[in-house]
Amino acid sequence: MKLTLKIWRQENANAKGKIVDYPIDGIEGDMSFLEMLDVLNEELVAKGDDPVEFDHDCREGICGSCNLQINGEPHGPEKLTTTCQLHMRSFKDGDTIVIEPFRATAFPVIKDLIVDRTSFDRIQQAGGYVSVNTSGNTIDANTIPVNKHDADDSFNAATCIGCGACVAACKNASAMLFTSAKVSQYALLPQGEVEAADRVQAMVRQMDEEGFGNCSNTGACELECPKGISLENIARMNREYLSATTKK
């Protein structure tokens, strides 16, 4: 397979970036998208050029590191698929593929295709946890009854990998889907009820401070989410926030 790659190159956070064209040949359909970039980088290094910097870790679709905008879509054309699990058979011989970093003020570019997503970490640190007093004999979590429907919804929310596709897909660069998923996974469980009001307020406050936009109500975040996180979580977070801010 012969392709033309149009890749965003940017030396550092302060440099001016640009799209650079790279022709590449010999790409097989069974290669993952990141393996294709590995082939490109091997060619660039062999010629003495700087390789294209991109983020990755597990390459199993569970860590969210492989956040690339491919032909204008977060993680590319396949639904419920991360970039590392996207295979080159999704493209045709002779295709031109535009590869960019996720675009958002709260996701500043570090270099080339790597963005700083620590804003997500700070949102979680603001309230995405359950405080437990470990002094003395603690109660085993399995002894607390949890409604199965709530447990399933909590688990589904917890599958969010924090990749940022929701932000990249939203015209307002909103982090509402990510934040609501992290709020939901605790709000649905009895262990999370104690700090529920403080949690949702702290996480929403941090989300706003990071510079993310408001929900656009277009649903692009759910559509592009590789884990299929539901918009119901945003509705739940709004209810949690309203309840927390109107309590007397």
Strands (DSSP E) along the chain, which ranges? 3-9, 18-24, 68-70, 73-74, 96-101, 109-111, 114-115
What is each CA distance from 116 to 55, 113, 135, 168, 244, in whole angstroms?
10, 10, 37, 13, 31
Q: Among 190, 178, 170, 195, which residue's Cα sits nearest to residue 237? A: 178
- Looking at the DSSP bridge assignments, the partners of residue 174 are 213
Q: What does the alpha-carbon distance between residue 215 and residue 173 come to, in Å, rounded to a whole number?
A: 8
**pLDDT of amino acid 142:** 73
Successive 10-residue mean pLDDT values, the chain, 248 residues: 98 96 97 98 98 97 96 97 98 98 97 98 94 69 84 96 98 98 94 92 98 96 97 97 86
**pLDDT of amino acid 102:** 97
What is each CA distance from 172 to 169, 175, 202, 220, 237, in whole angstroms?
9, 9, 21, 11, 18
Tell the residue number behind the tokens 């302060």, with chain if given.
14
**pLDDT of amino acid 138:** 67
Q: Could you give the domains of the chain? A: 3-111 (3.10.20.30), 118-246 (1.10.1060.10)
- Looking at the DSSP bridge assignments, the partners of residue 70 are 73, 99
**pLDDT of amino acid 129:** 87
**pLDDT of amino acid 30:** 97
